[in-house]
Amino acid sequence: DQQVKQNSPSLSVQEGRISILNCDYTNSMFDYFLWYKKYPAEGPTFLISISSIKDKNEDGRFTVFLNKSAKHLSLHIVPSQPGDSAVYFCAASAEYGNKLVFGAGTILRVKS
């Protein structure tokens, strides 16, 4: 039972353009959502998070949008840079971040 789904296995974007990564969830008890970036042979790196009481959170080039009614969140990266090429994981928690449920990940390739 996949509670967090990232339906796009990969995404290719031109440098300078916007990257939009999507994530859907099924568990209505989730109240905290996070995005992580992962390079090969490294642990995931925390990018940005959002609480269920908000619908948007911004940090530099990264913005996360949450649509609770649709059980959908997205990560926008503007402008995209070649260094952003990595696997992006969406994660959710129903217990204030202490037990994360991860999506399968989306491989982002930013072409220069």
Q: Which spans of this chain sit near another protein (rule: CB under 8 A)?
A: 32, 34, 36, 41-46, 49, 89, 91, 93, 95-105
CB within 8 Å of 60: residues ≥ 6 apart: none
Task: For another protein, give the closer residue by CB, 13 or 108.
Answer: 108
**Min CB(102)–another protein separation in Å:** 4
Task: For another protein, give the closer residue by CB, 17 or 99.
Answer: 99
**Min CB(64)–another protein separation in Å:** 13
Residue 24 three-state SS: strand
109: amino acid identity, one letter: R
9-22 in b/e form (b: 16+ CB < 10 A) is eebebeeeeebbbb
Task: For another protein, give the closer residue by CB, 15 or 94.
Answer: 94
